[in-house]
Amino acid sequence: MIRDPDTLAQLLDAVNRFVREKLVPAEHLVAETDEIPEDLVRGMKELGLFGLTVPEAYGGLGLTMEEEVMVMLAMGQTSPCFRSLFGTTVGIGSQGILMDGTPAQKDKYLPRLATGELVASFALTEPEAGSDAASLRTTAVREGDHYVVNGTKRFITNAPQAGIFTLMARTDPEDKGAGGVSAFIVEANTPGITIGRKDRKMGQRGAHTADVIFEDCRVPAAQLIGGKEGQGFKTAMKVLEKGRIHIAAICVGAAERMLRDALHYAVERKQFGQPIAEFQLVQAMLADSQAEVYAARCMVIDAARRRDEGQNVATEASCCKLFASEMCGRVADRAVQIFGGAGYIADYGIERFYRDVRLFRLYEGTSQIQQIVIARNMVREAAR
């Protein structure tokens, strides 16, 4: 749902300009230094990117899903690491508070998340619990008006920058499954939290992940999201469901960028006396990519609209994430192929995208998890 086309057009104009004039020129530097310069972070804050999904009453832009998708399509036109910095805050890091938090929790955190003063991270994955998220082992044991948290979270995006973590931990040791899991807002400066060293990743330099280790970390009971135990897994699933549409939009944006770069290269580059874009085997790669990008774009916008209408989009969200991330991988591969030898050389930038977008098929649920979610929902529906 687009509430006011003019306001959205202004926002998209500003984001497109920021991407084109500030972020794209900084891509090489960020990849080399593994840091996003402070003035770019400031620019993101000024544009309101940290508050995209926070309701206006709390100082954010309160975008609908369709509007959020439009912004992500624009953000996808540059290195994914930039989106990563504010994306966990507007997405999986804060949505638990927004969806299931108490009014007091919303009042306390949402205004500072909206300005970017606080970065929020999502702490679900563990060394032994990835796709099987319900098997997590981190414990939160109630002691008076606190919970004592012990455990290790792994590959946590933005952990080094985080001001708060949306933490999923087991409050009921008797229940080994989803029902024993609760969600907490944990402030990063709480004693008993150690952030591991930054992971050395395949790509997305500038975006940082690390372990988060909890050792007898005393978290006030008031930080239990929604004030109810046993709801944490459902909160995580709802958050991830929305996050999958958001990530799918980024996949489409990134694929559009790679395809545009490949097309320009194909038009410029001459072999056998003519631009390689004139060769039908190259055209096949361009055409297949264009068709797939278009399909994914339509899917993402459709799923976002349905979600805004209040429909259950669990299946559609997974379809979007599955198709758009796999499509993005295929487009990345073809783009490198069209660049030929230059596709393997860092100066041309396309090999960086090839590595960066590989993550899309893994995080916020692997492609295989999306297949499972889709098929399970189909079978359940058929059984009704």
| 78, 121, 125, 182: residue in contact with ligand COS (rule CB under 6 A) | 125
Residue 361 C-alpha from the chain's centroid: 11
| 2, 14, 134, 141: residue in contact with ligand COS (rule CB under 6 A) | 134
Q: In this complex, which beta carbon is closest to ligand COS, that of residue 204 or of residue 289? A: 204
Which range touches ligand COS (CB under 6 A), out of 11-19, 108-116, 143-151, 230-238? 230-238
Size of the site for ligand COS (CB under 6 A): 21
Q: In this complex, which beta carbon is closest to ligand COS, that of residue 73 or of residue 239? A: 239
Site string for ligand COS, 168-207 (x = CB under 6 A): ----------x-----------------------------
Q: In this complex, which beta carbon is closest to ligand COS, that of residue 136 or of residue 276? A: 136
Q: In this complex, which beta carbon is closest to ligand COS, that of residue 83 or of residue 334? A: 83
Minimal distance, residue 268 CB to ligand COS, in Å: 38
On the 0-12 / 13-18 / 19+ scale of CB atoms within 10 A, 28 is middle
| 61, 98, 369, 374: residue in contact with ligand COS (rule CB under 6 A) | 369
Which residue among 256, 292, 316, 364 is the active-site one?
364
Q: Does residue 82 belong to the site contacting ligand COS (CB under 6 A)?
A: no
Minimal distance, residue 79 CB to ligand COS, in Å: 19
Torsion sign, CA atoms 272, 277, 278, 282: positive
Q: In this complex, which beta carbon is closest to ligand COS, that of residue 61 or of residue 324? A: 324
CA nearest neighbour of 63 among 333, 307, 383:
307
Assess whether 268 carries a catalytic annotation: no
| 149, 300, 363, 374: residue in contact with ligand COS (rule CB under 6 A) | 363
Tell me the residue type at 167: L
Q: Does residue 87 belong to the site contacting ligand COS (CB under 6 A)?
A: no
Three-state secondary structure string covering the chain: CCCCHHHHHHHHHHHHHHHHHHHHHHHHHHHHHCCCCHHHHHHHHHHCHHHCCCCHHHCCCCCCHHHHHHHHHHHCCCCHHHHHHHHHHHCCCCHHHHHHCCHHHHHHHHHHHHHCCCCEEEECCECCECCCHHHCCCEEEEECCEEEEEEEEEEEECCCCCCEEEEEEECCCCCCCHHHEEEEEEECCCCCEEECCCCCCCCCCCCCEEEEEEEEEEEEHHHEHHHCCCCHHHHHHHHHHHHHHHHHHHHHHHHHHHHHHHHHHHHHCEECCEEHHHCHHHHHHHHHHHHHHHHHHHHHHHHHHHHHCCCCCHHHHHHHHHHHHHHHHHHHHHHHHHHHHHHHCHHHCHHHHHHHHHHHHCCCCCHHHHHHHHHHHHHHHHHC
Q: Does residue 342 belong to the site contacting ligand COS (CB under 6 A)?
A: no
Q: Does residue 124 belong to the site contacting ligand COS (CB under 6 A)?
A: yes
Which range touches ligand COS (CB under 6 A), out of 3-11, 56-64, 274-282, 357-365? 357-365
User: Could you say which residues in the range 237-276 bind ligand COS, by CB under 6 A?
Assistant: 237-238, 240-241
Q: What distance separates the 2 farthest-apart alpha carbons in the chain?
A: 79
Q: In this complex, which beta carbon is closest to ligand COS, that of residue 16 or of residue 367? A: 367
Tell me the residue type at 156: I
Q: Does residue 212 belong to the site contacting ligand COS (CB under 6 A)?
A: no
Q: Does residue 283 belong to the site contacting ligand COS (CB under 6 A)?
A: no
Which range touches ligand COS (CB under 6 A), out of 101-109, 122-130, 294-302, 331-339? 122-130
Q: In this complex, which beta carbon is closest to ligand COS, that of residue 87 or of residue 253? A: 87
Q: Using CB under 6 A, list all residues that contact ligand COS.
A: 122, 124-125, 131-134, 178, 233-234, 237-238, 240-241, 314, 363-365, 369, 372-373
**Catalytic residue set:** 364
